[in-house]
Amino acid sequence: MKSLTNRIIRQIIGDKRTVALIIIAPMLILTLLFLLLGDNSYTPTVAIQENSMPPAMISELKAQDLNIVNVNLDGLDIEQYLKDNKNIDAVFSVSVSGSSITMYESTAKTGKAMKAIQNAMASLNPAAQMQTHFAVGNPDDSLFDSMGYIFFGIISFFLIFIVSGMALVRERSSGTLERMLMSPISRVSVIGGYTAGFGLFAVIQSIVLVVFSIYVLGLHSEGNVGWVILIMLLLAVCAVSFGELISIFANTEFQVVQFIPIAIIPQIFFSGLIPLDTIPYHLGNLCYIMPVYYGCTAIKEVMVLGNGFGAILPFILALSAYIFILSALNTLALKKYRKL
């Protein structure tokens, strides 16, 4: 047993990827979680109409950690106002019928705004009730209803990445890729063939996942389901290309798994689970290098906001650019096996 233990220890110490996976990756993930989920200095912005609100309430609101904006709410379409002014987290109004707060959607930002308003009301009248409205979504929605679009992108990207990455490593370890590159076939054809092959199953997965979630599990979509399937397809093909790139630099299937903490987990954090503008040190801008962000945001535009092709076009172009760049990198990376 002692000799076996020593051999395992030497193997792990000799594998730098495994050492990094055991020691460095957990620290990296925990640091990222600390920055994303820890206390942040974000200050919500709340719009009120000061001339229709008691002075004591205004004083209590200003005593909270809030940015107060004075807006004329008479005849104002509040929901449309929130859609047009994304910097406003909530609109708070008081009338003879009671008080109400309207927010764009249920997020950590709007939650912080609502908590501050509730604290201000409680200091004046602990028994006061407040009506809550959302411009997008429903406060009675389940977590699956409100976050389903994010799960679409994460599940599709993660599973396709694993399958494509491990399959290409298996092709190399069995010698199939080397024998193929000994033939006149070009590197572009090799990458294109693998992408098309796995892409077919990506199409099937995308259709099954969307149809099952909407028509069996009852997930609601405000927009055209066809656009959701198109986005899912592009995201899945991007995952295929990403998996191929990672697999080229991995010698075993286990080494593909070792890339997950670095290549996949950070993308989950920037998929929309956390409001990006609340992340400190401007780390929210890292979302623009994450393909999952473009996929999940485009799906939200269709399923949650009910927008059409014009709204998702920039995200489609971004995913298409990712596919092109990753395919080009994969083609260049095959030079290590054969130079043409």
Domains within the chain, CATH numbers bracketed: 45-134 (3.40.190), 143-336 (no CATH)
Q: What angle do CA 73, 59, 103 make, to 5 degrees?
A: 40
Nearest to 49 by CA among 26, 27, 74: 74
**Residue that has been written with the tokens 């059409």 in this structure:** 308
How many whole angstroms separate alpha carbon 156 and alpha carbon 237?
Answer: 10
Yes or no: say if 93 and 71 are a contact pair by the CB < 8 Å rule. Answer: no
- Find out whether 255 and 18 touch, Cβ atoms under 8 Å: no
Sign of CA dihedral 283, 285, 291, 295: positive
Spell out the per-residue pLDDT of the chain, length 340, in tens: 666 566 656 766 776 766 666 677 667 766 766 766 665 677 888 888 888 888 888 888 888 888 888 888 888 888 888 888 888 888 888 877 778 888 887 777 787 888 888 888 887 776 667 788 887 766 666 667 777 778 888 888 888 888 887 877 777 777 666 666 666 677 777 777 777 777 777 778 888 888 888 888 888 888 888 898 899 889 988 888 888 888 877 777 777 877 887 788 888 888 877 777 777 777 778 888 889 999 999 998 898 888 889 999 999 999 999 999 988 888 887 776 554 4
Tokens found for residue 266: 């950070």
| DSSP structure class, residue 98 | E
